Amino acid sequence: MHITIIGAGYVGLVTGACFSEFGVFVTCVDKDKNKVESLNQSVIPFYEPGLEELVKRNVRQGRLKFTTDIGEAVEESLVIFIAVGTPPRGDGSADLIYVDEVAKEIANHIKSYKVIVTKSTVPVGTGERIRKIISQHLREEIDFDIVSNPEFLREGAAIEDFMRPNRIVIGAKSQQAAAIMRDLYKPLYLIETPFVITNIETAELIKYASNSFLAAKISFINEMANLCEKVGADVNVVAKGMGLDGRIGSKFLHAGPGFGGSCFPKDTRALLKIASDNNIELGIVNAAVKANERQIMTVSEKIKSALNDVKGKTIAILGLSFKPNTDDIREAPAVSIIQNLLNAGANIKTYDPVAMDNAKAVLPQITYCSDAYEACEDADAVVILTEWNQFRNLELAKLMKILKQPYFFDLRNIYDPQKMKETGFKYYSVGRSL
């Protein structure tokens, strides 16, 4: 089978590379000419473990190619995935300008039956919107179907999540389109991956509901962490005790500085907008968003009050990406926390294994270092914001020597409070009183 993926970003590129690994012939279309050229050289424009090798192998074997020419790609494909960005607008709604543009371009080029699939996270009702746009712009009466096939890829684990998904969700009106999608996903079908086949609106909502629930879980444990600090409890043990209940599950109960990334913040806000457009109150999702905004402020205040006053003080920030194994700093808590500390007069030195180039565009005024120890040299405090593995075993004795003051803010709870105290640090974490 031959498919087209429109939008070679995180979602589109991983989806295209993984399908080509299944033996599908994939053409990835992107309007960004430079991106297309570097991808045809198998140069990946962002960090995603394993992706470069996957792209290289499938480009070499002729199953994966990149182009800016949407016409040729659409003509030779039976299935066309829309994986362009759906950035949030000021009011929280997802901006569908790129989706609309791509729908018109598809309409201008289809000459035979096609299945058009929304892979990007799109508001409920977007399938119908795309159907109308294509019908209006078709040059002749051509049969086509719309399918919603939302992605559940986690950055840093996207290939794993594609190859071994918990489920495949397919929203389709026509049996024929659903059958074609089953055929496309046959390799996963054979390993008994559960399929949820439903209507388009339901499939569109499953994605928002899943991400919003995960975000609510994180906000729940972050609020529990704040209470733990007051009552002398340990949030990690609370999370363990909760998670052993099969109905709760242990995942996504790690307290921290709040959730970031290009999905949870965007998808929760978009879902709230969809709800308010339909006069429905989603109090729990709203509370999760507000709790997340509070959490970022809470941890910033924790640093400022512990140091008494950060004005003129040097703070070493370890980790800028919104989570490990990605260079993505979109809505990363680190960006807000650093801006907060800069506003209070602090000097910031930082190190992140892969996200510093992206951060320089947003935070040009801070000092970027070549490793964690250079960042900590002469600093009044060290703050761990992203739990990269290389920050889990810092040489503590060396840190004690090079820090000007022994303040250690472990905002991802990766160190043992007792041990840190014994080493002589003024140690702070999230939800664990010493």
Q: How many residues bind ligand UDX (CB under 6 A)?
A: 39
Which of 3, 5, 11, 216 touches ligand UDX (CB under 6 A)? 11
Provide the minimum distance between the beta carbon of 246 and ligand UDX in the complex, in angstroms, as a whole number.
18
- Residue 36 binds ligand UDX, judged by CB under 6 A: no
Provide the minimum distance between the beta carbon of 154 and ligand UDX in the complex, in angstroms, as a whole number.
4
How many other C-beta atoms can be found within 10 angstroms of the C-beta atom of residue 272? 22
- Distance, in Å, from the CA atom of 209 to the CA atom of 85, rounded to the nearest integer, reads 19
Residue 195's identity, in one-letter code, is F
Which residues within the stretch 257-316 sit at the binding site for ligand UDX (CB under 6 A)?
259-264
Provide the minimum distance between the beta carbon of 412 and ligand UDX in the complex, in angstroms, as a whole number.
8
* Contact string (CB under 6 A) for ligand UDX, positions 221-240, x = contact: --------------------
Provide the minimum distance between the beta carbon of 385 and ligand UDX in the complex, in angstroms, as a whole number.
9
Q: What b-and-e string marks burial along 223-233, b requiring 16 or more CB atoms within 10 Å of the CB?
A: bbbbebbeeeb
263 belongs to the catalytic site: yes
Which of 102, 103, 270, 291 touches ligand UDX (CB under 6 A)? 102
> 153 CB contacts (<8 Å, ≥6 apart)?
10, 11, 14, 15, 161, 162
- Residue 9 binds ligand UDX, judged by CB under 6 A: yes
Question: 75 in helix, strand or coil?
Answer: helix
Q: What size, in residues, is the chain?
A: 434
Tell me whether residue 118 or residue 314 sits nearer to ligand UDX (CB atom).
118
Which of 86, 149, 350, 413 touches ligand UDX (CB under 6 A)? 86
Tell me whether residue 30 or residue 380 sits nearer to ligand UDX (CB atom).
30
Identify the active-site residue in 18, 228, 263, 376: 263
DSSP annotation string for 162-223: HHS-S-EEEEESSHHHHHHHHHHTHHHHHTT--EEEE-HHHHHHHHHHHHHHHHHHHHHHHH
- Residue 16 binds ligand UDX, judged by CB under 6 A: no
- Residue 211 binds ligand UDX, judged by CB under 6 A: yes
- Distance, in Å, from the CA atom of 396 to the CA atom of 426, rounded to the nearest integer, reads 13
> 275 CB contacts (<8 Å, ≥6 apart)?
281, 282, 285
> 336 CB contacts (<8 Å, ≥6 apart)?
296, 300
Helix (H), strand (E) counts: the chain: 18, 14
Q: Which stretch binds ligand UDX (CB under 6 A): 7-15, 17-25, 224-232, 421-429?
A: 7-15
Tell me whether residue 17 or residue 403 sits nearer to ligand UDX (CB atom).
17
106 neighbors 136 (Cβ within 8 angstroms): no
- Residue 7 binds ligand UDX, judged by CB under 6 A: yes
Selection from 99, 64, 106, 74 nearest residue 84 by Cα? 99
Catalytic site positions: 263
Interface contacts to ligand UDX, rule CB under 6 A:
6-12, 30-32, 35, 84-86, 98, 101-102, 120-121, 151-155, 211, 214, 218, 252-254, 256, 259-264, 322-323
